[in-house]
Copies of this chain bind each other. A is one copy, B any other.
Amino acid sequence: MAPTTISEIHRLEGQEAHLRGWVYNTRSSGKLQFILVRDGSGVIQAVASLKNVGEELFQELGRLTQESSLEVWGMVKADPRAPGGFELSITRAKIVQIAQEYPISPKEHGIEFLLDHRHLWLRSSLQHAILRVRAEVIRSAREYLDDHGFLNMDTPILTPAACEGTTTLFQVEYFEEFSFLTQSGQLYNEATAAAFGKVYSFGPTFRAEKSKTRRHLTEFWMLEPEVAYAGLNDIMELEEKLIEHIVGRVLERRAEELKRLERDTSKLEKVKAPFPRLHYADAVKRLNEKGVDFQWGGDFGAPDEAVLTEDYETPFFVHRFPSQIKAFYMEPDPADPKHCLSVDCLAPEGYGEIVGGGQRIADYDLLLERIREHKLPEEAFEWYLDLRRYGSVPHSGFGIGVERTTAWLCGIEHVRECIPFPRTIYRMKP
């Protein structure tokens, strides 16, 4: 009999099944033992009765500890009271390994202890749910872009120059030279968009930020679409449709996980394009009206963003930030050049920024001027300037942070639980 998985067990109702997994929990009651078995695809209650399995196996099963590994064979029975709707009546079992005393028990553990044991903590039911949502965010986003004419072009991780400012770079010894870990694939995406029209990169990005907030990781994953001949409005439309698609897929394919996370899904069901759009200057006014001391020209901190999200039930855009607080490549707003054609997308319920993007400068002279103003090494940007020498076109793009999006969808506080092995200023282990 070929082994099956718990997620597929409904196909074998009334028949025998063979499962391979780990012990999630056990309890016994006289001549019955109840073993919660997990196999990565789900959890099922397997029941051993002394009568069915015999004295020897019954004794052996009594030795099972949390996270012991085992194979079980048994009859699949529908049971509406069981989690998942099915139960396994054990006929045979093979213990693979009796686990040593498992460090993570149902009692409360401190966060540092859990992060030190991240390789095991991943087995817990809530972490399971979060990371399955994360995988669906990635899958659905790629699916949307692949189906809409975008080409996946991976951008380099080892780069010779900075993209998002020079203070947060990780330096790598590269043979006799130095290299830096990428902060964003954007500059390279601009080159591939000029070659392929509509592209996206998806990969890890790095910021040596000393921020210790719940929204910061030093290593995080970003999906970055870039579109030739697209302006600010085009890119906002793409963003809202992409986010609507991601949320729809997560609601559809991860309903069970959201339930386990006790997520109020009625809030996610409201996420439909188009999203509200707020000019930066109006956002500043709004903050002041709400009693926040904030001046034109500043960048929003997490608390400011949280206040802005009070007025919205869906993600919304804040567009046209002051040029002075945005990257050198942002196209000035022709209607008001103090502002640039940039846009952040803020998630509701206090989550704040999950996407940043905008229209890039297309004009050679202006871009060169900005590179000089920002005191960037001109030579390292020669190739980037080439994109404005040879068939420059208006173009725009954005980067959506996978972990921040996952945190919002799961309704959890901290991005460190939204990636399998988080890296922060104090942690690069395990």
Contact = CB atoms under 8 A, between A and B. Distances in A.
Interface of A: 3, 5, 7, 20-23, 39-41, 67-69, 71, 96-97, 99-100, 102, 117-120, 122-123, 127-128, 131-132, 135, 138-139, 142, 146, 149, 151-160, 170-175, 177, 179, 181, 188, 191-198, 203-204, 206, 208, 218-219, 221, 228-229, 383-384, 386-387, 389-394, 419-421, 423, 425, 428-430
B135 A195 contact: no
Nearest to A383: B430
A197 B41 contact: yes
Nearest to A68: B391
A64 to B, nearest CB: 10
A390 B173 contact: no
A7 B69 contact: no
Contacts of A3: 229
Contacts of A390: 67, 99-100, 102, 120
Nearest to A179: B428
B157 A122 contact: no
Q: Which of A39, A40, A383 has the most CB of B within 10 A?
A: A40
B221 A154 contact: yes
27 contacts: A3-B229, A5-B197, A23-B391, A39-B228, A40-B196, A40-B198, A68-B391, A97-B391, A99-B391, A117-B386, A119-B191, A119-B384, A122-B191, A127-B195, A142-B142, A153-B420, A154-B419, A156-B421, A156-B428, A157-B157, A158-B170, A158-B218, A158-B219, A160-B428, A172-B173, A175-B208, A179-B428
B156 A188 contact: no
Contact of A151 (B132, B152, B393, B394): B132
A156 to B, nearest CB: 4
A232 B250 CA distance: 34
A119 B228 CA distance: 15
Contacts of A149: 5, 7, 41
Given A158-B170, A203-B203, 18 more contacts: A69-B391, A97-B392, A100-B389, A119-B383, A122-B195, A123-B195, A131-B153, A132-B151, A135-B153, A156-B219, A156-B428, A158-B206, A170-B173, A170-B174, A171-B172, A172-B172, A177-B428, A384-B430
A260 B423 CA distance: 44
Nearest to A196: B40
Nearest to A392: B97
B170 A171 contact: no
A261 to B, nearest CB: 17
Contacts of A41: 149, 196-198
B135 A151 contact: yes
A70 to B, nearest CB: 9
Given A7-B149, A421-B188, A99 B389 contact: yes
Contacts of A68: 391
Contact of A197 (B39, B159, B419): B39
A155 B420 contact: yes
Nearest to A97: B392
Contacts of A7: 149
A173 B171 contact: yes
A228 B20 CA distance: 9
A237 to B, nearest CB: 12
